[in-house]
């Protein structure tokens, strides 16, 4: 396992919103040799998801560790299936990606509307406060928040509050981001490895799931706060991560600050063996649910 080989660290703050271009997508790159993380300039109107796909497939440096702010899979371990009692429920994360991309084949911009409205799949999601699928909760559920992966339970134990990937409601939801991201990951087959669903290769780019709140915690942001809304707050977090500051003063948007601090965080911890061997990660979890980088 050659974890010290990465020369670049790319953080992507992702978006699952409808539309051709997304103001909520931000990319930041940090160089292993040092210096501040830098934002990758977005096209006018914001990034298209297909443009990010093309960058990951064709343009990033060979030994880049890529952190994406989305869920790379859905809960499986709690019920022995992604979609209990649905005959088409896939057996692995990669077959889940393929199913989502197939059902959404006619959706533009890597959107996921056809999947969340599918007659069977829709039953497992929370769509609004009034519309909750009849399979959103498992029988004898211990929480009304929906189902969680093993990695998300580990995140909660560490003091951050991920939301179920089956939840499509609210500012904190990552369900649609995750589903659109899974479409992209399916289309990157053969171009990048996705850890831990794929074994960590000796060369080539590697995508990991990350949660920006964990990166903010690494930058010394405590309590209920996880967002850095000024350059001053951002640079204080970067200093905690051993990074040079970025230029600027005053307000900064959440998407940019999330990407910048996470790129620096990936650079700091990406070569630490402990983060590649979390306690709860088993071969079966790796194959089905994946893991959140930084959840130990």
Average pLDDT over residues 200-220: 92
Q: How is the chain split into domains, by residue range?
A: 1-296
Torsion of Cα atoms, 163 then 166 then 172 then 178, to 10°? 110
pLDDT tens for 263-276 read 999 999 999 999 99
The pair of structure tokens assigned to 79 is 């019920």
Residue-level pLDDT at 218: 87
Helix (H) or strand (E) holding 267: helix 254-269
- Give the Cα separation of 47 and 110 in Å (integer): 12
Of the two residues 57 and 161, the one the predictor is more confident about is 57
Contact between residue 140 and residue 182 where contact means Cβ atoms under 8 Å apart: no
pLDDT tens for 150-176 read 999 999 888 888 999 999 998 888 999
The pair of structure tokens assigned to 219 is 């930058």
- Give the Cα separation of 246 and 177 in Å (integer): 27
Give residue 225's Cα distance to chain centre.
Answer: 19
Residue-level pLDDT at 224: 61
Average pLDDT along the chain: 94
Q: Among residues of the chain, what percentage have pLDDT more than 90? A: 85
- Give the Cα separation of 17 and 109 in Å (integer): 10
Average pLDDT over residues 177-198: 97
Three-class secondary structure of residue 38 per DSSP? strand
Three-class secondary structure of residue 167 per DSSP? strand
* Least reliable range by pLDDT among 42-46, 59-63, 218-222, 247-251: 218-222
Short-list 237, 186, 143, CA closest to 57:
186
Of the two residues 223 and 134, the one the predictor is more confident about is 134
* Least reliable range by pLDDT among 35-39, 138-142, 185-189, 214-218: 138-142
Residue-level pLDDT at 245: 97
Of the two residues 104 and 221, the one the predictor is more confident about is 104
Interior angle at CA 166, CA 162 and CA 169, nearest 5: 75
Torsion of Cα atoms, 266 then 53 then 289 then 212, to 10°? 40
Residue-level pLDDT at 227: 85
Check whether the bond before 274 is cis (ω within 30° of 0): no
- Give the Cα separation of 197 and 241 in Å (integer): 28
């Amino acid at each position: 396992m050659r974890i010290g080989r990465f020369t670049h660290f790319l953080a992507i703050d992702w978006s699952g919103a409808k539309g051709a271009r997304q103001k909520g997508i931000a990319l930041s790159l940090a160089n292993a040799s040092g210096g501040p993380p830098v934002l990758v300039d977005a096209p006018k109107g914001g990034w298209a998801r297909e443009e990010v796909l093309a960058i990951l497939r064709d343009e990033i440096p060979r030994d880049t560790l890529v952190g994406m702010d989305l869920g790379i899979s859905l809960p499986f371990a709690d019920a022995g299936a992604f979609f209990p009692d649905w005959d088409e429920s896939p057996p692995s994360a990669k077959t889940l990606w393929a199913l989502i991309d197939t059902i959404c084949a006619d959706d533009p911009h890597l959107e996921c509307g056809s999947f969340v409205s599918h007659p069977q799949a829709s039953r497992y999601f929370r769509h609004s406060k009034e519309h909750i699928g009849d399979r959103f909760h498992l029988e004898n559920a211990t929480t009304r928040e929906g189902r969680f992966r093993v990695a998300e339970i580990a995140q909660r134990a560490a003091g951050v509050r991920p939301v179920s990937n089956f939840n499509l409601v609210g500012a904190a939801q990552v369900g649609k981001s995750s589903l659109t991201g899974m479409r992209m990951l399916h289309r990157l087959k053969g171009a990048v490895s996705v850890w831990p669903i794929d074994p960590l290769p000796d060369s080539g780019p590697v995508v990991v799931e990350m949660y920006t709140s964990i990166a903010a915690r690494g930058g010394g942001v405590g309590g209920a706060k996880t967002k850095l809304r000024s350059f001053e707050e951002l640079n204080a977090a970067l200093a905690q991560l051993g990074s040079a500051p970025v230029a600027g003063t005053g307000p900064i948007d959440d998407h940019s600050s999330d990407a910048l601090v996470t790129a620096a965080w990936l650079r700091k911890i990406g070569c630490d063996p402990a983060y590649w061997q979390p306690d709860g990660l088993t071969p079966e979890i790796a194959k089905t649910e994946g893991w959140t980088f930084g959840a130990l």
